[in-house]
Structure 1
């Protein structure tokens, strides 16, 4: 059959079959196997962590993969958690961590959102190099600047201070947050912004009334990722905090490790790790779909 019809036009070409219809790709199969093995390993570690937090030290070493039994038989299933909470001072540390992490994440996003909007939507001169500058800041390990940072904070009398740690958290979280939100703001449609400009809305009014609601998914993603990262942060809290009354959860757990190991309270120690890990794990599970959506939308353009 001729590929030219009676009107002299070429017949449309047949669409290419989707990649899945061309056959099985060995690379894709290998990738899926690696992902599932990694997922299974993490689920197994989580199972061991939670089950060990209900066990006695003897059960942890002699029956590491079996379900806990002895504390349940004695009628004290939460004994390790009670011990960790009381001995490590997790009560006050938990409240401190919630307030510190929440304030740091909110302030970081509040600063990064207008900065990202200005870099992507207002035509600021040099916005491209400035965006790259933030990307470079993401690649600088904070361990390399921790000594000069401590010296500078000491001169300002901000060591052993939650305010000082708050400022450090915000400063070190800004590069990633700005870079994440620039990708997200860049992916938003231009039509509503142009309509607001035609109606005479100022850039600030357009940002607060139109663009921020559209960027809600990206803002929640940035807020959640910052909260998870700061919640698990340990090194900075060890360096900048010395008073027990100001300890975060990770800092309190680090101090509790020495005492629990000395007393062979490994069940209580693992329960302490579980107390620190579970809140952010639950938060991520609840918001996983929103986080993934925000990250993929931000990478749309």
Structure 2
């Protein structure tokens, strides 16, 4: 019908639009794609199996852990003490106090990291600072330095300042070592924001500081939340620094308390309590990640895609 009308009007004949080509993965069976999916599902199944074993073992007796590793727990449940292992780890390993210390330390450190990294990332990307690209690359280099290589000189320096076995000293270390990654992450978000907003704010007479706090910072809220969550998960699971810098039970974080509990529980063959301690450390962050996984993935994709 369209071709006939165009011929009558004397115009060129228009061809129907060409159908888009199908994606490479939609052209039938792909051995590489099948292999990749098999590897992904196998890895997922192994992780689910390990998680199932961890949760079940937290409610078993030591004999059940070794003789019936994948069976449902029965010994403590039949005796009306289903949560005996969790209570043992919580009370005997000092997990109650360590849990409170870890929550406060991780929360304060994560907020402080984001509060320091956000202005730095904004200055490097939006204020036209001379040598901003070089400074950004210099910050990125800090991400590639394993913190294990600086533990000894860091310990010597903190000892000179009398900040070893001190939660404030550990807080400073957490913030310093997490800043490079967070600054690098937030530069992607601030770089993706439209320039017109800053220009309009400048025309209205807003200072750079006011523009940052009232306009740009709320727009980068997704990136800030993503950075906050990633830092919280990383610091919650941190073990090496807490082992090196903390040596008094009163200052132990959860990971440090679990490390100390490992020797005592192994000596007493209290493997049920030890596995329950591992569950107490692992499960809170696992639940947090499951609840906020979509926000984390969306935030990372937004920062990288723009």
Of 237, 241, 252, which aligns to 1:232?
Answer: 237
Q: Residue 147 of structure 1 aligns with which residue?
A: 152
Other-structure match for 1:279 = 284
Deviation at 1:13, TM superposition (A): 6.5
**Within 5 Å, which residues of 2 pair with 1:1-301?**
7=11, 14-19=18-23, 20-301=25-306
| Alpha-carbon distance between aligned partners in 2 of 1:251 and 1:62, rounded to the nearest angstrom | 29
Query: 1 CA distance for matches of 2:259 and 2:154?
Result: 22
Q: Tell me which structure has the larger Cα radius of gyration.
A: 2
Moved over 6 A (4+): none
Q: 1:39 to 1:137 in 2, by over 3 A?
A: same
Give the count of matched residue pairs: 299
Shift, 1:157, TM fit: 0.8
Deviation string for 1:63-108 (max 9, x for gaps)? Answer: 0011111111000000000000011001111111111111111000
After TM superposition, the score normalised by the length of structure 2 is 0.93
CA distance in 1, matches of 2:16, 2:238: 58
Q: CA deviation at 1:291?
A: 0.6
RMSD: 1.8
Q: How far apart are residue 18 of structure 1 and its match?
A: 3.0
Distance 1:186 1:262, change over 3 A: same
Residue 220 of structure 1: CA displacement? 0.7
Report deviation, 1:110.
0.3
Please state whether the residue corresponding to 2:291 is helix, strand or coil: helix
User: What is the deviation of 1:27?
Assistant: 2.3
Residue aligned with 1:299, SS? helix
